[in-house]
Structures are given as structure tokens and as C-alpha cells.
Chain A
Amino acid sequence: ELKVEQNPLFLSMQEGKNYTIYCNYSTTSDRLYWYRQDPGKSLESLFVLLSNGAVKQEGRLMASLDTKARLSTLHITAAVHDLSATYFCAVVYNDMRFGAGTRLTVKP
């Protein structure tokens, strides 16, 4: 059974700081996604990573994928308050399985 482990589960950051969220998974996968979820809302797609070494960036967020290590990272650069949300990684293997989520709070 595919297992997806995400850490940290909680992250409190100061504005302007950098940090990385990690996502490990247990079996070979076709694709890996990163999503953002605001309270009471559904998921917003951030990145889809399809191949080993894939790197994608959007604004202050950058995601990468190492399929050999079965590891993806979501790096936050110079955090701002608007990035406060819960971030999920999800791995596709027949269906889609989610990590536990990282609840990010960015403080002034």
C-alpha cells in the first residue's frame, strides 16, 4: 500500500524567512502533486511533478522531485503572510494518496 509521509506537520515562520516542507512516499509513482488548502475550502493545485529532477517554481514557492529517493520538497522563499495555509503533497499510484498536510503560519 502506498504511504505518503509529510513533514513537518506544523510550521510557524517569520515573514521573510525560508523553509522547506518534505514529502516522502513508499512506492514508485507516476506523478506527485502539491496542493494548497485554505480553511473551509477545497484544494488549489500548485504543482504537478512528472519526472525525476523536475523543478517547478511559482512566485515564492518551488517544488522539486527526486524519484530515486522518493522525495519531493516544497521550498518557501521569503515567506509572506498570504502563504499561511495547509499544504498537501499527493502521490498518484492508481489512485491519489495524500500526505498528512503541513499547516503553515507566517507571522509578521
Chain B
Amino acid sequence: GAVVSQHPSRVICKSGTSVKIECRSLDFQATTMFWYRQFPKQSLMLMATSNEGSKATYEQGVEKDKFLINHASLTLSTLTVTSAHPEDSSFYICSARRDPNTEAFFGQGTRLTVV
């Protein structure tokens, strides 16, 4: 399968600061990338869908001003958690797909801890 690289794998930040997570498709061009959040012992919840060159589409209940998503190129999407709070601590996972008819591949995930 194709490779999706997510960085960093772990990050600890202080309350009130911002943290950026990168998601890169290494060997294909991803027209669409997805961002998920997973709390302990729960399933993956879709946060937003980003298409290259367009504004992200956020799921209901996800604050777009808090979770900034940028998909400026066909190989890179970023998720910035702004003014982080302890309740934002979670496992964030991205996925990327070439087009709607192909499989989406997942990054390694980022464990965010806000202290």
C-alpha cells in the first residue's frame, strides 16, 4: 500500500499554546485528506475532510477556529490545534487518498498531551 507519514508521533504542549501536526503522502498525490480524533478505548471520529486547494469541511461539533486545517499541496495537510486545553489531549490520525475511488491510507497517528 501507499505510505502516509504523520509527524510528530508524540507531542506534549502547555495549555494555551498551539501545536501543528503534519500529514504527508510520500508516494502518491492525495486529493483528499481526512483528520480523525480517537479518545482512549473509543473509535475514530472524523473531524474534517480537506481537499487540496479548498477549505476543509468540518464535522458537526468540531470547532473550525480551534482546529485549523490546511491542505496547500497534493502531498501535505496540516492540522493546527490552537489554544490547546487538556481536553484536547487525544490520538489524532490522518488518512489520505488519491481519489474517491481508491483506498485511503492512514498515518501513524499523533499522541497529543496538553498539560
Contact = CB atoms under 8 A, between A and B. Distances in A.
A82 interface: no
Given A41-B109, A42-B106, A98 B95 contact: no
B104 interface: yes
Given A43-B93, A96-B34, A96-B104, A88 B44 contact: yes
A95 interface: yes
Contact of B1 (A45, A97, A98): A45
A41 to B, nearest CB: 7
Interface residues of A, number: 19
A78 B35 CA distance: 36
B25 interface: no
Nearest to B4: A42
A100 B43 contact: yes
Nearest to A45: B1
Contacts of A45: 1, 103, 105-106
Interface in A25-60: 30-31, 33, 40-43, 45, 48
A98 B43 contact: yes
Contacts of B101: 30
Interface of B: 1, 6, 34, 41-46, 49, 93, 95, 100-101, 103-109, 111
Given A42-B93, A42-B108, 6 more contacts: A41-B109, A42-B106, A96-B34, A96-B46, A99-B43, A101-B42
13 contacts: A33-B103, A42-B6, A42-B106, A42-B107, A43-B44, A43-B106, A45-B106, A48-B103, A88-B43, A96-B46, A96-B104, A98-B45, A100-B42
